[in-house]
Amino acid sequence: MKSKITITEIAQKSGVSVSTVSRVLNNSPSVSQKKRERIQQIIDEHNYTPSVFARGMINQTTKNIGVILPDITNPYFASLFLQIESFALKNMYATLMFNTMFSRDSRRFDTHLTEEDYFKIILEKQVDGVLILGGQIDKEDIADSFIHALNQLHQHVPVVVVGSKIEGCECLFVERNLKQGVTSIVHHFIALGHDRIGFIGGEPGIRVTSSRIEAFSKAMKSLGQSVYNPYIVTSDYYAPDGYAAMIQLLDANPDRLPSAVIAHNDMVALGAIRAMKDRGVHCPEQIAIASCDQFQLSDFSIPRLTSMDQHNEYLGRMAVLQMISAINGSDETITINHSPELVIRESCGATFKSG
């Protein structure tokens, strides 16, 4: 392994002192044009880059940020992370990723680390900030010890979480508009003439879930519709969960099926449609489906999925922006204003009904 050239050597080769080299490195104005150019040339020639170690020792920064999320295999996190990574890099920050596998579905994973263990690891990595996407932070009742650990972490580096604000947690929050999506779908279904509407998917006890179910109830009631509890089945966020939820819903209401069902996301919707097919129930003719979170394949499934485009690109960028602003010592809170957008395809039956 060829070791890197140091500032001292550059100084020698340029016939100046290290401080002068340091000055051109940091764009200090007080260097004569001539010397600057000569030195810069030698730097380029030797492909020299300053040691991050020596640098970090002085200003205590790595230009790295840590991202903690449950599972990169989940398309929601993948698309969010992609935006985060690229936007961070544009701002000269690289990204360390940690999958906590915190989720009911991933118990199969042989990891024994808690999220608090990850906090410790990430702190040792001396990142300049940490971004938290989902996980325990989304639980309905969070262990005090977790909040405590979070606050403690936040004392060392800025922590921004993408999720709803939590009482007693001092971290920065970037909130997404969880409710508007459900509300739009309810309106859409009602407009289509549905009156028996259900909701499936999402892990119980998780705020993303309850928040959507709540928005569902509220929207229904505000339109004079009654909410029928057997039409609400929670499970989790993946396709097998949508499958299980739909089977349960079908079995529980054999002679009074819902006419439309809202799925927590596209994977849940796909699973649900699969379940219906296996039970000989047609989508959208017998039960229409729409999902609150669009993934990549919505336009290619059978039937094509009607879903909400949550504009995750925007969300990711905002999170990074908030992060950088906090790293730079600002305490300003960035408010985000994204409007989920209903994309009508086939599974909601809109074209079916109108045609």
Partner DNA sequence: CTGTTAGCGCGTTCAC
Partner DNA sequence: GTGAACGCGCTAACAG
Tokens encoding 274: 């699969």
- Comparing CB distances to a copy of itself, the nearer of 180 and 312 is 312
Which listed residue (240, 309, 325, 352) binds a copy of itself by CB under 8 A? Answer: 240
Contact 287, 253 (CB under 8 A): no
List 161's β-bridge partners, or say none: 132, 173
Overall size of the chain counted in residues: 355
Is the bond leading into 303 cis (omega within 30 degrees of zero)? yes
Which listed residue (297, 333, 339, 353) binds a copy of itself by CB under 8 A? Answer: 297
Tokens encoding 271: 């699973």
For residue 270, state whether it binds a copy of itself (rule: CB under 8 A): yes
Which listed residue (5, 9, 12, 56) binds a copy of itself by CB under 8 A? Answer: 56
- DSSP category for residue 194: -
Q: Which does 271 bind (CB under 5 to 8 A by kind): a copy of itself, DNA, none?
A: a copy of itself
Q: Which does 26 bind (CB under 5 to 8 A by kind): a copy of itself, DNA, none?
A: DNA
Site residues for DNA, 49-88, by CB under 7 A, read 50-51, 53-55, 57-59
Which listed residue (96, 281, 334, 342) binds a copy of itself by CB under 8 A? Answer: 96
Contact 311, 180 (CB under 8 A): no
- Comparing CB distances to DNA, the nearer of 17 and 73 is 17
Strand boundaries in the chain, DSSP class E: 64-69, 94-99, 129-133, 159-162, 172-174, 197-200, 232-233, 260-263, 288-291, 306-309, 341-343
For residue 302, state whether it binds a copy of itself (rule: CB under 8 A): yes
Site residues for a copy of itself, 60-89, by CB under 8 A, read 60, 62, 64, 71-73, 75, 78-79, 81-82, 85-86, 89
Q: What share of the chain is helix, strand, coil (3-state, %, to 5)?
A: 45, 15, 40
**Cβ 45 to DNA shortest distance, Å:** 15
Q: Which amino acid is at 47?
A: N
Contact 163, 134 (CB under 8 A): yes
For residue 321, how far is the Cα from the chain centroid?
A: 14
For residue 37, state whether it binds a copy of itself (rule: CB under 8 A): no
Rg for the chain, CA atoms, rounded: 26
Site residues for DNA, 3-42, by CB under 7 A, read 3, 6-8, 16-20, 22-23, 25-26, 29-32, 34-35
For residue 156, state whether it binds a copy of itself (rule: CB under 8 A): yes
- Comparing CB distances to a copy of itself, the nearer of 47 and 226 is 47
- DSSP category for residue 206: B
| Phi, psi of 325, deg, nearest 5 | -65, -40
Question: Per CB under 8 A, which region of 7-15, 34-42, 117-125, 248-256 contacts a copy of itself?
Answer: 117-125
- Comparing CB distances to DNA, the nearer of 59 and 229 is 59
Residue 174 and residue 314: Cα distance in Å, rounded?
A: 11
**Cβ 13 to DNA shortest distance, Å:** 12
Per-residue binding string, a copy of itself, 171-210, x by CB under 8 A, is ----------------------------------------
Tokens encoding 135: 């996980």
- Comparing CB distances to a copy of itself, the nearer of 214 and 313 is 313
Nearest to residue 212, comparing CAs of 164, 142, 155?
Answer: 164
Q: Environment class of residue 110 by beta-carbon count within 10 Å: exposed (0-12), middle (13-18) or buried (19+)?
A: exposed
End-to-end CA distance of the chain: 68
List 263's β-bridge partners, or say none: 200, 291
Binding footprint of a copy of itself on the chain (CB under 8 A): 1-4, 49, 51-54, 56-57, 60, 62, 64, 71-73, 75, 78-79, 81-82, 85-86, 89, 94-99, 101, 109, 111, 121, 123-126, 155-158, 238-240, 242-243, 267, 270-271, 273-274, 277, 296-297, 299-302, 304
Binding footprint of DNA on the chain (CB under 7 A): 3, 6-8, 16-20, 22-23, 25-26, 29-32, 34-35, 50-51, 53-55, 57-59
